[in-house]
Amino acid sequence: MSYAPGAIELRQETPTSAPRGPTLAHEWRKLSRAATFVAVLTSPVFFALLYGRVGWSATGALAATFVAVITFRGLMDVIAHRLIPSPSLYGAEKELLEDDVVARRRLWYWRTRFRRWTWFAGTLFVLLMTLNLAQRIFSTPRSLIDTLTGIGSTVAQFLPGILPLLLIFPFYFLFNALILIGPFLLFAVKQLKGYEPGDADWGVRLEDVRGQAEPKEEVTRVITLWQSGDEFRAAGGKPERGLLFMGAPGTGKTMLSKAIATSFNSPIVTMPGSGFAGVFMGMDVVAVMLMIRKARKLARKWGDQCIVFIDEIDAVGMRRQALGGGGAIGGMMTPNDSFHDYCFYGPNGALTPTGDLVLETRAWRERLFASRAEQPLPVYPPSLQRLGQRIHNFMMPGGMMGGGGMALNQLLVQMDGIDEPKFTKKFFTNKINTFLDATYLIPNKLGNTSLRLPKPKPRTEQIYFIGATNVPLEVLDPALVRPGRMGRHVWFRTPTKDDRKDIFNLYLNKVDHDPDLDSERRRDELARITNGYSPAMIEQVCSMALTLAHSTMRPRFDWADIVGAMTTIESGTAVGIEYVPAETRAVAIHEAGHAVASHVYMEDVLSTRLSIRKRGGSLGHHQAIEKEERFSSWRGEEVGKLVWTLGAMAAERVFYSENSTGVGGDVQSATARAAWMVGMCGMGPERIVLEGRFATFEDEQEQREKLMKRFELIGAQIMNRAGSSSPFGGDPLAAVLADPGKRAAAATLLGQAYLSAEALIRHNRAKVEAIADRLIEARELHGDEVVDLLNSVELEKPEIDLLEESSWPKI
């Protein structure tokens, strides 16, 4: 495609022939000054006319002359901007840009005034002409002056009666609105609480927050900049506006926020996320505005700093598409990465429905703490909630009730506008400066002195936000958690063994206890046996142990007291019954089988508790803890857990040649683990090694198949296939067991694990019996008592020859 040379030359010359923006701006400035000069020059004539001819007073004539001059100047500006194009000042010098701002402000002011005056005059003229015409048709003709006089007298006659109604109507509607929404708004806002320094003794300081060293260090760094970050700001830094505490319930998020308020010596405003819920749409917005208003008020009183803490912020900060019903995030299915997602029973997260097997892992703690999440309390009493629902259904049939959806938008707006000047100051400054500019006669500056109100400065109050949630970050709205709002995310982990030891160091020092509990060995043991304890539970254990000591007239508690307190808190008060001797021994053999299998086949695990005391639905229990924090496990470790689970069944069959109904929970858990290993983790049965024991490969393969089939038959007899109950009903594990090939692999895996468990018990029969006898004597063993007992009997892992018939269980 080609272009004509002439066209190219024309396109090149066009910009140079057009007037440049700055040049046109200078011409506009000359025109503006000339129009002002003409208006001022003719003003004495107008003043003399009003003062001399019309007879106005000097003050009235002077004021009228001033109004006439500036009105004429405004009219000239409006007409000129209709006829002459405005200059383009992109890249112009600062002086021209400032003049352009003043000129635009003047033009807006007078264009608005003339438009309003025109509409008012036109409407009045049409009204008067209509009234005058009606009078001429239906009555004696009257002049326009007489018509105006008649209208004025009529208005004066009826005004005393109409004026009270005009004043009462707004108050009437306001009063009725308060009657309608007042109670609902009161219950929603009453959860908003403000505390000034000294109002409430939280009793918590930063040094009292234990078990969360990394979050505390992170928060301390941010708080330091909040409190004394002048040098940081002078260097160009910008402190974080908000913190987001993330972690499972009970990990210390609220406790750390109280410690911040105490150490920061700052007022704090607290509000639960559920407090933003409202029966009527818009009430959540009111709640947010009241919260910010209260925070600003406290900040002005206490050094211009205040903290706003919003617990359960996910109630207001969920993704907006999820709030709108799309639910893409909220309904998303995520893959399970832990066996505890399938087998988790009771308040202690046991692996079996009977509650007798507990293994502390990182995934178990996460699941345990998540299960402790409390449901938010209802904002309104049930009767008020039902009343609001009926009112809402009457006013908006089929509409959704307010639930905090608009609160998120308002919260984001408020967080962005915290530093903005006050609205009233901005409003009046803008109006006054615009009027001064529109007079044309009052310059911007007189020498170096400005004749305009200074630009309103940002608010001095610094409002900092802290939110706490136990939901994943991706569930929250990205606009809330981005930098500049709640962009600093602080993660709270569930307390590990070392964390619990740190927490015990705090609370034990607050209560009277035996000096033996101060030793490093005892502190480590306490941390090891308190599987899944939160800081609040550790505090409760210390208090309950002292209660047990005082109930027997002892001034301080000892190891036995704190152990009794722990078992009571975990499983409930021990049931005061005695088993018959035979059943006591059977339960002891059962639990000893678990402990022995764990000690031999789970090398990365330490036993923490062994008991035959009935608590809740459990006749006894065995608990253990991983020695190190792990995020994954190997096949051999999972097989070890299978052997541990089946160890009790193997012990019963070795000692009694049959098993009791007490192994039902173990069988269900073992079946679920085998299905999980095969179906989710690709962990099949172990290959049988027979090389060198047969003359031909065909004979070896035939024997291997027979042995694998034998394992499968054993596992099939053990396997729980009552698929209508948890964890199999409607679960991926049910699909695994429904597949013939997968079910056979899972059964073979179970058979191999059971063979190992029974061979272990048979090989160590006398030692297992010694452990059971010690357990019968003590009823409960904890921590080092269990570990020392298992170490003392010197358990041995047997060599298993699969070709020896005596190696196979009679099952």
**Mean pLDDT on 771-780:** 92
**Mean pLDDT on 187-194:** 75
Q: Where on the phi/psi map is residue 245: left (φ > 0), alpha (ψ -120 to 50), or beta?
A: beta
Query: pLDDT tens digits for 577-621?
Result: 667 888 889 999 999 999 999 999 999 999 999 988 876 667 788
Contact between residue 647 and residue 593 where contact means Cβ atoms under 8 Å apart: yes
As given in the structure block, the two tokens for residue 63 are 């004021």
**Which residues is 306 bridged to in the sheet?**
463
**Mean pLDDT on 325-349:** 61
DSSP conformation letters of 529-594: HSTT--HHHHHHHHHHHHHHHHHTT-SSB-HHHHHHHHHHHHH-SPP-----HHHHHHHHHHHHHH
**Mean pLDDT on 462-481:** 87
Q: Which of 312-321, 440-449, 660-669, 759-768 has the lowest mean pLDDT?
A: 312-321
Which helix (H) or strand (E) segment is 41 a member of? helix 21-48
Spatial distance between the Cα atoms of 312 and 291, rounded to a whole number of angstroms: 16
pLDDT, residue 674, reads 92
Q: Count how many Cα atoms sit within 13 Å of the Cα of residue 582 in the half-sphere of its side chain.
A: 3
- Pick from 96, 264, 290: which is nearest to 191 by CA? 290
Q: Which of 310-314, 332-336, 606-610 has the lowest mean pLDDT?
A: 332-336
Q: Which of 25-29, 126-130, 402-406, 474-478 has the lowest mean pLDDT?
A: 402-406
Spatial distance between the Cα atoms of 474 and 561, rounded to a whole number of angstroms: 44
More confident residue, 111 or 136: 111
Spatial distance between the Cα atoms of 746 and 753, rounded to a whole number of angstroms: 11
Percent of the chain with pLDDT over 70: 79
pLDDT bin (cut points 50, 70, 90) of residue 6 is very low
pTM of model > 0.85:
no
Indicate the domain borders of the chain: 20-136, 193-342+376-444+455-488, 497-568, 580-807
Q: Is the pLDDT of residue 172 over 70?
A: no
pLDDT, residue 646, reads 95
pLDDT bin (cut points 50, 70, 90) of residue 791 is very high
Name the packing angle between helices 21-48 and 94-138 (round to 10°): 50
Tell me the average pLDDT of the chain.
Answer: 80
pLDDT, residue 442, reads 82
pLDDT, residue 617, reads 66
pLDDT, residue 725, reads 46
Strand 242-247: give its sheet, edge to edge.
193-195, 268-272, 305-311, 462-469, 242-247, 488-492
Spatial distance between the Cα atoms of 65 and 746, rounded to a whole number of angstroms: 102
**Mean pLDDT on 381-400:** 53
**Mean pLDDT on 177-202:** 69
As given in the structure block, the two tokens for residue 743 are 């079910």
**Mean pLDDT on 65-82:** 86
pLDDT bin (cut points 50, 70, 90) of residue 391 is low
Q: Is the dihedral of CA 399, 405, 406, 409 positive or negative?
A: negative
Q: Which of 48-62, 560-574, 674-688, 756-770 has the lowest mean pLDDT?
A: 560-574
Q: Is the pLDDT of residue 398 over 50?
A: no
The 3-state DSSP composition of the chain as helix, strand, coil percent (nearest 5) reads 60, 10, 30
Q: Where on the phi/psi map is residue 752: left (φ > 0), alpha (ψ -120 to 50), or beta?
A: alpha
**Mean pLDDT on 780-808:** 90
The CATH number that domain 193-342+376-444+455-488 falls under is: 3.40.50.300
Q: Is the pLDDT of residue 700 over 50?
A: yes
Q: Is the pLDDT of residue 282 over 70?
A: no
**Mean pLDDT on 431-449:** 83
Query: pLDDT tens digits for 721-774?
Result: 665 444 555 567 777 777 788 888 889 999 999 999 999 999 999 999 999 999
**Mean pLDDT on 524-548:** 90
pLDDT, residue 410, reads 83
**Mean pLDDT on 67-80:** 86
As given in the structure block, the two tokens for residue 539 are 């505090």
pLDDT, residue 266, reads 78
Q: Is the pLDDT of residue 568 over 80?
A: no
Measured in degrees and rounded to the nearest 5, phi and psi for residue 746 equal -65, -40
Q: Is the pLDDT of residue 122 over 80?
A: yes
pLDDT, residue 704, reads 81
pLDDT, residue 734, reads 78
**Mean pLDDT on 431-444:** 84
pLDDT, residue 194, reads 83
Spatial distance between the Cα atoms of 562 and 571, rounded to a whole number of angstroms: 14
The CATH number that domain 497-568 falls under is: 1.10.8.60
Tell me whether the omega of the peptide bond preceding residue 197 falls within 30 degrees of 0, making it cis: no
pLDDT, residue 119, reads 92
pLDDT, residue 722, reads 64
**What CATH superfamily is the domain 580-807?**
Peptidase M41 (1.20.58.760)
More confident residue, 336 or 197: 197
Q: Is the pLDDT of residue 309 over 80?
A: yes
Spatial distance between the Cα atoms of 512 and 311, rounded to a whole number of angstroms: 34
Q: Which of 166-175, 361-370, 740-749, 801-810 has the lowest mean pLDDT?
A: 166-175
More confident residue, 597 or 346: 597
Q: Is the pLDDT of residue 18 over 60?
A: no
Q: Is the pLDDT of residue 325 over 50?
A: no
Residue 306: alpha-carbon gap to chain centroid: 20
- Pick from 192, 208, 191, 190: which is nearest to 263 by CA? 208
Cα–Cα distances in angstroms (integers) from residue 528 to residues 362, 469, 522, in the given order: 14, 28, 10
